[in-house]
Chain A
Amino acid sequence: MAKRLDIQDLNLHYGKFHAVQDVSLQVHARGVTAFIGPSGCGKSTVLRALNRMHEVIAGARVEGKVLLDGEDVYASNVDPVQVRRTIGMVFQRANPFPTMSIRDNVVAGLKLAGEKNKKHLDEVAERSLRSANLWEEVKDRLNKPGGSLSGGQQQRLCIARAVAVQPDVLLMDEPCSALDPISTLAIEDLIAELKKDYTIVIVTHNMQQAARVSDQTAFFNLRAVGEPGQLVEIEETGKIFSNPNQKATEDYISGRFG
């Protein structure tokens, strides 16, 4: 069940370091929102704040609101574990549980949520692997360890694992940065497929990728090293890449940055 995200006045800190300042933006349901910007401007930090992964880092702090269909995920009565179950995440480096079997990797989230019915788990494993375009490649070795797959397959396994719990939102932090062009295309196709059912936020350094997969694009920047990162603008993707409002955005996407 796709939901929209409404980020209001988000400020993020690592100890004394103010990493991200005053970010407000909306992530539409059933669509892809891309985060772009130079390294260190806080894209990952913002992304990780959306499913409360930011706070697992010692000393990290969050101010502001993240509303999931109007409900603040940072409200005092909300359990961060529950938030992470409804807002899934795919990381830059594929991180399947290496000793767990492929099947168990896919259904790990469901098992954590208490699902025991083997038949149901098998069904979900197949459905999720199919939707991650991995089923054909692994259907004959579901009991092999997750670590035995290639890098691109591992990343698709992680996507399958994330969609298996049918999250409201799917966060992806540079999911293709360690992959070859073919695997990258496979995952881009997958994103296009998934956005029919999911709300997706993707961080990417690849401009073409942002242009290809996303509906709206947010450009982040930082004024200088050591200053907090900020949101420069967020616009419909076509507009960002053809006729952005801000000069900084245009410089960045045309490679005239810095």
Chain B
Amino acid sequence: MTDSTKSERHPADAEPGAAAAPSGPQDPKTPAEPRSDSKVVRIGDRVFHSVATGSGVFVIALIAAIGLFLLIRAIPSLQANEVSFLFSREWQAGDPDNLRFGIIDLAWITVASSLVALVLAMPTAFGISLFLTQYAPRSLARPFAYVVDLLAAVPSVIYGLWGFLVLTPVISPVAVWLNTNLGWIPLFADGNIPVGTGSNVFVAGIVLAVMILPIITGVTREVFERTPTVQIEGALALGATKWEVVRTTVWPFGRNGFIGGSMLGLGRALGETVALTVILSATQEAPSYSIFDAGATFASKIALGSAEFNNNMTVGAYISAGLVLFVTTFAVNALARWIEGRSGKGKE
């Protein structure tokens, strides 16, 4: 199983035609290796090397340019801001001569809905990946995995409508129960809209959980599948049960991949716009820092603000919020890749 996965993953290793190779360009061995028939291969290598390096540099430059653009547009508005950008709960960006905008409430709604999503999606994705790779028979695993992947193909506006129209009434008894019994915890206290009827952060988190499930499951499934067979058999031969095999081999090998995949999902959730605009826009009231709040995330605030985009200072205020989101998602994704990359270490 392991071997076949590997050869699928690195088809380029077997073939010298490097122009077709999708693997990293910075492999120093390939061009340095002396070969008798190397003339053609080397040209191919060199072309591939420059193309790959070129596109890599281009992507990085593009990202840097976007960041720079955001920063340049944001600075004048930030300087004109009358209140603390990071800690103010106001958002009055319409009047260019009296800009009062702060992101703390946006950050709350964004982070809270994403964290609710993670709390729900991580264990679910873990369970599904474990089931698909360790327990399910092959005939069942493939179609099931396919269905999970299909979740990623649903447009997010559909998720938004589904959350608003279908999920909210279905889930409200749970929300009421949490509010009644655990209301003494600030997180579950009354929000800025009625708990029983509202589309709130709690609903948004559930919807986001469904949306990021395919991302987390996809990554986790793959790292779980890569657990070396010799390790699994070693544990079995010691008299490990299926679950103990998971604990002693699959989990230590796949842990970083699982966490990395979850961070990727988090990055996706933080930036989600349309679904949350549909679900959370019921009120303009300031949130009371409960998961039963509604309100705006960074992304939905910007989307909803487009009517005001009639002068540079106002646009700059929204761009400042966008910049924060950009940096956060970028950092989360980078962290995800880094953690995920570490999961391969110490293997074999």
Query: Is A bound to B?
Result: yes
- Please list the residues of chain A having a beta carbon within 8 angstroms of any beta carbon in chain B: 51, 53, 56, 58, 81-82, 84-85, 88-89, 91, 93, 95-100, 108-109, 112-113, 145, 147, 158, 161-162, 165
Q: Which residue of chain B is the closest to A99 with respect to CB atoms?
A: B252
Q: Which residue of chain B is the closest to A93 with respect to CB atoms?
A: B230
**B239 contacts A85, C-beta separation under 8 Å:** yes
**B236 contacts A97, C-beta separation under 8 Å:** no
Please encode chain B, from 200 to 241, with 1 for each CB lying within 8 Å of some chain A CB and 0 for all others.
000000000000000000000000000010110111111111
**A91 contacts B248, C-beta separation under 8 Å:** no
Considering the chains assembled together, what is the distance between the CA atoms of A100 and B252 in angstroms?
9
15 contacts between A and B (CB under 8 A): A53-B237, A56-B233, A58-B137, A82-B239, A84-B236, A93-B230, A95-B233, A96-B234, A97-B252, A100-B252, A108-B235, A108-B248, A109-B238, A112-B240, A158-B234
Considering the chains assembled together, what is the distance between the CA atoms of A88 and B233 in angstroms?
12
Considering the chains assembled together, what is the distance between the CA atoms of A97 and B253 in angstroms?
10
Contacts of A96 in B (CB 8 A): 234
**B239 contacts A165, C-beta separation under 8 Å:** yes
Considering the chains assembled together, what is the distance between the CA atoms of A112 and B235 in angstroms?
9
Considering the chains assembled together, what is the distance between the CA atoms of A84 and B244 in angstroms?
14
Contacts of B113 in A (CB 8 A): none
**A95 contacts B230, C-beta separation under 8 Å:** yes
Considering the chains assembled together, what is the distance between the CA atoms of A56 and B237 in angstroms?
11
Contacts of A53 in B (CB 8 A): 233, 236-237
B: interface residue count bin? 20 to 34
Contacts of B228 in A (CB 8 A): 95
Partner of A91, one of B137, B230, B240, B249: B230
**A84 contacts B233, C-beta separation under 8 Å:** no
**A161 contacts B239, C-beta separation under 8 Å:** no
**A91 contacts B233, C-beta separation under 8 Å:** yes
Considering the chains assembled together, what is the distance between the CA atoms of A145 and B347 in angstroms?
13
**B237 contacts A88, C-beta separation under 8 Å:** yes
Known interface pairs A95-B231, A98-B346; A51-B249 also in contact (CB < 8 Å): no
Considering the chains assembled together, what is the distance between the CA atoms of A162 and B233 in angstroms?
13
Contacts of A56 in B (CB 8 A): 233, 236
Contacts of A165 in B (CB 8 A): 238-239
Contacts of A98 in B (CB 8 A): 346-347
Considering the chains assembled together, what is the distance between the CA atoms of A100 and B249 in angstroms?
10
Contacts of A88 in B (CB 8 A): 237-238
Known interface pairs A95-B230, A95-B231; A89-B244 also in contact (CB < 8 Å): no
Considering the chains assembled together, what is the distance between the CA atoms of A238 and B306 in angstroms?
91
B342 within 8 A of A: no
Please encode chain B, from 316 to 348, with 1 for each CB lying within 8 Å of some chain A CB and 0 for all others.
000000000000000000000000000000110
